[in-house]
A and B are shown apart, each in its own frame.
Chain A
Amino acid sequence: IFYEFNYRHMANTLSLYRTVKRLGIPDERIILMLADDMACNPRNNYPAQVFNNENHQLNLYGDNVEVDYRGYEVTVENFLRVLTGRHESAVPRSKRLLSDEGSHILLYMTGHGGDEFLKFQDNEELQSHDLADAVKQMKEKHRFKELLIMVDTCQAATLFSQLQSPGVLAIGSSMKGENSYSHHLDSDIGVSVVDRFTFHTLAFFEKLNMYSNASLNSLFNSYDPSMLLSTAYYRMDLYKRALNEVPVTNFFGSVMKTIHTDSAYTGFLAAHDAELPLSVGNNILDHVMLQNEASARRSNIEEMNEAQLMSHGWTEVLLEQLEGKNSDVVVMYGLGTMGILLAISTWLSM
């Protein structure tokens, strides 16, 4: 099947997986969803190897990769189940997002996308409303404290345009109407091996180790539109902390602070004192990474454009209205207004 053309999406996800593991997050805290089997695909000339650079220096697949959802299991339904935690009882723990109200979650998605959607497996799509809804459910169920969404697709910024929940930070590789481009072509494998946004993200992280103090601000400012050929747009209106105070290892790594105690544990009271500073440094981090394949159909995206334009404005207004008030009251008001308008127009035409 023609999934070979989406090698770079797999390489994107695996590069980030490797970075995140290198910075300290263990496999049981990572949920990796890969829609295709590239590494052991018979068309891959380098079996069990995936590269994100044409120098082939780094085998992203490595020896120790654990993929939680693969192949036909990567569906919008499973993705939303992972986010909201609504699984069947038989689903094992390794396939669940076991986060709580203190968790920092990184959600990375890459694939083919467009205005307000992301394509899954060439026959399904995830809409921005669905994602916003899932994040809202997550917030209500106290499944995260802070969430960073990174999207590397065409028109990525539209995917998180519907988010309303506090504590969410989102960055996309391109704005509405822009495409995200691949970085370079590997003439040996025959396809592009990495996307520009992910390539520059990795270039930023390769300079870091687990104890670096680089802040999210420096990460977001490192994206140069002339190198990306698109504008990396980020949205911080829902995120209360200043970006220059948040270290990147909050989301991309797992840093355990060890605090030396001068004296030994002398019992319950002393232990309690020692625990408090530890809990500040201890971040329980969970990561969800997602990668989707499809062939982009430009005309479809244009149609999507048109459809979304019309409904966009007034749905925003409506949602704002529905936010605080009782929805029944608003509906009554709406019906009343409509009735009045109808009466006026018929009276005018008489």
Chain B
Amino acid sequence: MMPPSTARRLCFLSLLLLLLLLAAAASATADAAAAEEFTEELLLRPLPDRKALAHFHFRSSAPPASAAGRHHHLFPKAISQLVQKFHISELELSFTQGRWNYEQWGGYDPMSTNNAKPPGVELWAIFDLPLAEIDATWKNLTHTLSGLFCASINFLESSTAFSAPRWGFKLNEGNLRYGALPREAVCTENLTPWLKLLPCRDKAGIASLLYRPSVYKGYYHSQKLKLKSSQSLGIILDQTLTVVLQPNTVSGKQLHSTGGQLQPSWSMEHLFSKKLSGKCLVSKSSRVFVEIEKGIVDNVDKAGSDVSSNNDLFVLSTAPDRSLKELDNLEVQSSSLYEYDVNNYNSDKPLNVGITWKLPLIWSCTRAPYHASRFLMGSGNERGSIAMSFLSTGLDKQLVDSSNDCSIKAVVFQVVPWYVKVYYHSLEVFIDGNSKAISEVVDKIHVTPSEDKLLPGTMEMLLKFPCSMQLATLTLDFDKGFLHIDEYPPDANQGFDIPSALVSFPEFNSSRSYPEADPLFVSPLLENFKEDGVVKSYTEVLLVPLTTPDFSMPYNVITFTCTVLALYFGSLLNALRRRIGEEERGLKKAGILNKRGLIPLLIAKLRGQKVDPSESESTSPASLPRSKLLLKVVFVAVVAIVFHYLSNS
């Protein structure tokens, strides 16, 4: 029988051992949890102008290389090799066709700030390398990406195509490079390799909805690849595809009994001609969201009903598994999100989410404080001006108190190719029609002037607009440069593009937080929405017609020059070598020349032997050179004919 103190000690020790074991087990599971993950999500949202937005979001994550080694089972090896070889810490590559309609589709929410991209290709990357090596690495990166995505991204390799902004685009220490190709076409061949990076490709899961003709028939489509790499977190790869489609419904323009026009009722089958028949089996979670924006929710509240999936204004075709409500700063409910878990659906019971409108409704999406747009001024092929206008959308009135010294900041980032030679000293600012001094409006400006054939001109500006302003315009003059004949593209007469400028509003934060009930099932899409991002908008691409040369001129010059040279040398040799009439003079001196020509001689010979013996003697030394000439001419003619026949056979 043990004394009670030792028994207690034993108990204590065993408990300690148990705790240690548990801790070890916990840490072991924590290590095992650092595995590769893949999630897929789809967000559908009706837009005010009778269109529908579909946003596909795929996230693959790989643990740090030191833990996992070089073997991947979900994460695409091409991307991990890219990150390792080029020491990338952040990269974003987007292929876009169409313009994001900021007036109708919003400019304030995280969807438009993250996924409204400039047309063509936009690539930026932050490298984890010493500054001297970054340009060479950028060049190799552009070539590799061009091979990977079947696009001409390699055109960004030369220093005339990319720039290194310090704070206008993203705050960095000089290791960011930015390049854009506005005229790059986007088609199936860019989507094919993008989809091949997903573990299930487009064979299963949400990506199987991507019916190519539907995607490319849309008003806007943008496929984006964003990756973040760090030593601690590994690589996180986000692939998103944002499409704005016009649903092809039969009941397109239905008139409601009240006289208004119903919004089109659509479903996934109307958008993609397919239903979703199950998730990608290797994905950790697979979800479909339908987002009902604040504008609609306000209307539903006004109508007095509760914002559920079936209310007075609209009804969702399938009952959602969950519904999430966004809470903004004032704890007022804004947008609503209905979630469907694709796990519950399979090929026998496919998922076909749709919305049917019951009452006509007009709403609007929140816009950025200013609508930024850019256009060209001037005419002729010598000079012009770039003008950027900021039109107040009224948001600032709602969100900021309009006291006297309130101001709204805007950051402008613009890259202009070298052949559009901008004179930065000619910057003029007009606020509500009145010209203002630069120092009143421009807080900070950083310019990298362009160098002919070497560098584009980069401009980063921090502007402060008074809150009461309605319209501001900035103008910059430029001269049009000349390109070397080899530098012209085949369709030079179309014009040359100035890539989109980026306008961001640092005081306005675009994020949407949907509090989730389940802490384990974090949705990457909602995580992205919660991230603090500034409100951004891209301006239009400008098309500048430059003087084009007459491309047939090299051929013309060669022809003219050769003709002139031939005439010169021909006449020179003629003048130097030919002795005209010398033979005749010589023979005349000797007194034997008969002044009859060749033809009279021939005729005389034909008539018979009526020629004088003296004449015949005199003609013989003269006719000898002439007959030799005739022989030569005949010989050349025969040779020419033979060559002609040979070449034709």
Contacts and interface: CB of A to CB of B under 8 A. Distances in A.
Interface of A: 1, 37, 39-41, 46-49, 61-68, 70-73, 88, 90-95, 121-124, 309-310, 312-314, 345, 348-349
B548 to A, nearest CB: 11
Contacts of A313: 643, 646-647
A121 B443 CA distance: 48
Contacts of B187: 37, 39-40, 48, 61
Contact of A40 (B154, B185, B643): B185
Nearest to A61: B188
Given A46-B213, A121-B490, 5 more contacts: A48-B217, A70-B151, A73-B154, A124-B490, A313-B646
B36 interface: no
B157 interface: yes
A91 B144 CA distance: 7
A63 B212 contact: yes
B188 A65 contact: yes
A62 B191 CA distance: 12
11 contacts: A37-B187, A40-B97, A40-B185, A40-B188, A46-B213, A71-B152, A73-B152, A73-B154, A90-B143, A92-B143, A309-B647
Given A48-B216, A70-B150, A92-B147, A348 B632 contact: yes
Nearest to A313: B647
B146 interface: yes
B571 interface: no
A47 to B, nearest CB: 4
Contacts of B157: 90
A48 B551 contact: no
Nearest to A75: B490
A67 B143 contact: no
B494 A71 contact: no
| Residue of B150, B151, B629 with highest tally of chain A CB at under 10 A | B150
Given A40-B185, A90-B157, A63 B192 contact: yes
A93 B78 CA distance: 13
A198 to B, nearest CB: 21
Interface residues of B, number: 42
B621 interface: no
Contact of A37 (B148, B185, B202, B494): B185
Given A47-B217, A49-B213, A68 B494 contact: no
Contacts of B97: 40
B570 interface: no
A90 B147 CA distance: 10
Nearest to A1: B491
Contacts of A71: 152, 184-185
B150 A66 contact: yes
Interface of B: 97, 139-140, 143-144, 146-148, 150-152, 154-155, 157, 184-189, 192-193, 202, 212-213, 215-217, 489-491, 494, 551, 625, 628-629, 632, 643-644, 646-648
| Residue of A40, A49, A349 with highest tally of chain B CB at under 10 A | A40
Contact of A64 (B148, B192, B216): B192
A95 B151 CA distance: 11
A63 to B, nearest CB: 6
| Residue of A47, A91, A124 with highest tally of chain B CB at under 10 A | A47
Contacts, number: 101
A65 B189 contact: yes
B489 A72 contact: yes
A130 B509 CA distance: 59
B34 to A, nearest CB: 31
Contacts of A121: 490
Given A90-B140, A94-B147, A313-B647, A70 B216 contact: no
A17 to B, nearest CB: 11
B625 A349 contact: yes
Contacts of A61: 187-188, 212
Nearest to B642: A313
B213 A48 contact: yes
Nearest to B183: A71
B566 to A, nearest CB: 15
Contacts of A122: 490
A348 B491 contact: no
| Residue of B151, B202, B216 with highest tally of chain A CB at under 10 A | B216
A107 to B, nearest CB: 20
Nearest to B217: A47
A61 B625 CA distance: 74
A123 B549 CA distance: 13
B215 A48 contact: yes
Contact of A72 (B186, B215, B490): B490
A47 B140 CA distance: 33
A1 to B, nearest CB: 5
A94 B647 CA distance: 42
Contacts of A41: 185
B201 to A, nearest CB: 10
Given A40-B97, A90-B140, A123-B490, A62 B150 contact: no
Contacts of B625: 348-349
A90 B146 CA distance: 11
B146 to A, nearest CB: 7
Contacts of A64: 192
A66 B152 contact: no
A94 B625 CA distance: 71
A64 B154 CA distance: 22
Contacts of A62: 188
Contact of A93 (B147, B489, B628): B147
Q: Which A-B residue pairs are the 6 nearest by beta carbons?
A: A92-B147, A40-B187, A37-B185, A313-B647, A90-B143, A47-B216
A71 to B, nearest CB: 6
A349 B193 CA distance: 76
A63 B147 contact: no
B186 A40 contact: yes
Contact of A70 (B152, B213, B491): B152
A127 B647 CA distance: 18
Given A70-B189, A123-B551, A1 B494 contact: yes
A90 B139 contact: yes
A41 B490 CA distance: 17
A92 B202 contact: no
Given A40-B187, A313-B643, A313-B647, A92 B215 contact: no
B189 A66 contact: yes
Contacts of B147: 68, 91-95
Contacts of B551: 123
A66 B193 contact: yes
A122 B490 CA distance: 7
Contacts of B646: 313
A345 B143 CA distance: 62
A63 B643 CA distance: 55
A46 B216 CA distance: 9
Contacts of B491: 1
A153 B524 CA distance: 53
A326 B188 CA distance: 53
Contacts of B192: 63-66
A63 B188 contact: yes
B213 A72 contact: no
B415 to A, nearest CB: 20
A348 B186 CA distance: 73
A70 B185 contact: yes
A328 to B, nearest CB: 26
B143 A91 contact: yes
B492 to A, nearest CB: 9
Given A40-B216, A90-B140, A48 B489 contact: no
A63 B152 contact: no
Given A121-B490, A123-B551, A67 B150 contact: yes
A46 B188 CA distance: 13
A39 B303 CA distance: 46
B440 to A, nearest CB: 43
A312 B647 CA distance: 6
B393 to A, nearest CB: 29
B643 A314 contact: yes
A37 B648 CA distance: 39
